[in-house]
Structure 1
Amino acid sequence: MAKLVAILGLPIRKETIMPVSIEDIANYVAALPDVRVDDTTADVFFFKGTEQNFPFATVVTHDQPYDDQSNLDRQGLFRLNIQTDRDTFERLFPGFDKSTSPAESFDLTAIDTLFPHPVYAKMRWVSVITPDHSWPRCQELLRTAHGQAK
């Protein structure tokens, strides 16, 4: 394959990263201690403990009437959403005014790019559509969110 790519004059990536699948995310999060996974709908919710009051992360696979700014109805895309704390959110998005819509400052349809959640940014949720190169950062955020979940 590398020869074919070189012959075609295409750049060769030293490290090939395949987009992360929903199953990859579910397996990663489920391996954290005391996690419950609710995958009874098209979306996936990750809870810590048995009460399942509020998830610390979700995977959304389609648009909702109240949440359609990411255009998730595009073929093969999904959005990973992760709860963060104040410091993490402000470090990720310095100067972001939570009283404004994230759509005013961010492309909420961008793939593999962290952005404030289209609806829950005020609650310090972050999102990424179909993570790839951002997956290591997402893993860190998932571990932190899990550690802070009640």
Structure 2
Amino acid sequence: MSQTKWIEIETVHRFITQKLEGVVPKDAWGETSYFYNPGRVFDRGTYFATIKQKDGENDQASNLDRHGVWRLNIGVSKGAYFELFGPPSPRPGKGRIVEGDWDFKALDELTPHPVYGWMSWLSVLNPSNETWEKCRVLLSDAHKRAHGNFAKRLAKLERSN
């Protein structure tokens, strides 16, 4: 029986910061957040992905406090989200998770983000090589979405000056 090969966090970090242009990583809230922010025009830029390694006060659905477990979160376009999961669930109440039959603790399974699925974010715990290939495409989609949102934000800033 073959053993699943998990992708390392550093592989994901390198892909996001070296293969996707204009990305600025920031460590905050117990995770590494990735912003599209070429030239560091904004304080934080446009948020499109995170790597989370521990549970947070309002986000414990994935049980990230297990040894070696981490979660990649990706803010994809509505079209990409819909293709994978159908329409997003309604926004959950404070301290709750999105509705659905998702196992947010399962390794190597793409799911809606347990808290932000309603905003077209998805997640995967400890992706395998096969799932990582899907994630690379999804990260590129999220990066493109962030690029568009950044351009709108920049245009608004330029109009106000």
* Corresponding position: 1:26 with 2:26: no
Structure 1 runs (4+) deviating above 3 angstroms are: 39-42, 95-104
Q: CA deviation at 1:40?
A: 6.2
Deviates more, 1:39-48 or 1:67-76: 39-48
Q: Secondary structure at the match of 1:134?
A: helix
Query: Alpha-carbon deviations, 1:115-144, whole Å to 9, x = none?
Result: 011110111100000111310000000011
- The yes-or-no answer on 1:37 pairing with 2:11 is no
The separation in 1 between residues aligned to 2:91 and 2:27, in whole angstroms, is 32
Confirm whether residue 123 of structure 1 aligns to residue 119 of structure 2: yes
Q: 1:68 to 1:40 in 2, by over 3 A?
A: closer
Do the aligned partners of 2:26 and 2:32 also contact (CA within 8 Å) in 1?
yes
2:76 maps to 84
Mark the CA change 1:40 to 1:69 in structure 2 (over 3 Å): closer, same or farther: closer
How many residues get paired?
137
Q: More helix per residue: 1 or 2?
A: 2
Matches within 5 A, 1:30-109: 30-31=17-18, 32-39=20-27, 42-49=30-37, 50=40, 51=42, 52-94=44-86, 97-98=89-90, 101-102=97-98, 104-109=100-105
Computing the radius of gyration from Cα coordinates, the structure with the larger value is: 1
Structure 2: runs of 5 or more not aligned: 151-161
Distance change (3 Å), C-alpha of 1:105 and 1:26: same
1:20-48 per-residue CA deviation (whole Å, 9 max, x = no partner) reads 11111110000111111113674211111
> What does residue 154 of structure 2 align with?
none
TM-score (norm. length: structure 2): 0.77
**Which of residues 132, 135, 138 is equivalent to 2:132?**
135
**Residue-by-residue CA offset, 1:86-124 (whole Å, 9 max, x unaligned):** 111111002553356435310010100000111101111
1:17 CA displacement: 6.2
What's the Cα RMSD here? 2.0
Q: Percent sequence identity over matched residues?
A: 32
> Any gaps of 5 or more consecutive residues in structure 1?
1-10
User: What code does the residue aligned with 2:100 have?
Assistant: E
Query: 1:17-76 CA distances to partner (integer Å, 9 max, x unpaired)?
Result: 631111111100001111111136742111111222442000000001100010000000
